[in-house]
């Protein structure tokens, strides 16, 4: 039986967001499909680089949450950012 993966957007990539995203990557039933952070220096980088992974994940970080939500279907958003984002 094939189980549909839970599609996740990681919202916020500070220390807690990085830890959360790394945890999600260990869960076979979950798949990160997008990532957003207000930090302009993260925009355009591969999420794998931000997470300290050896290999790219093929997920580009964006600083535009509205665009991401409009373009990338997800089941869950994990919000680990401050209210100013």
Level-2 CATH architecture, domain 10-79 = 3-Layer(aba) Sandwich (3.40)
Q: What is the pLDDT of residues 23-73, one digit of tens each?
A: 999 999 999 999 999 999 999 999 999 999 999 999 999 999 999 999 999
Task: Indicate whether 85 pLDDT > 70.
Answer: no
pLDDT of residue 3: 82
pLDDT of residue 25: 98
pTM score, two decimals?
0.91
Contact 64, 36 (CB under 8 A): yes
Q: DSSP per residue over 9-29, as a string?
A: EEE--SHHHHHHHHHHTT-TT
């Amino acid at each position: 039986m094939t189980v549909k993966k839970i599609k996740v957007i990681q919202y916020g990539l500070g220390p807690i967001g990085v830890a959360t995203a790394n945890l999600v990557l260990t869960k076979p039933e979950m798949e990160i499909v997008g990532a957003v952070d207000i930090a302009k220096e993260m925009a355009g980088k591969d999420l794998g680089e931000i997470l300290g992974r050896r290999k790219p994940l093929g997920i580009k970080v964006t600083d535009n949450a509205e665009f991401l939500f409009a373009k990338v279907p997800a089941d869950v958003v994990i919000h680990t950012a401050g209210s100013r984002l």
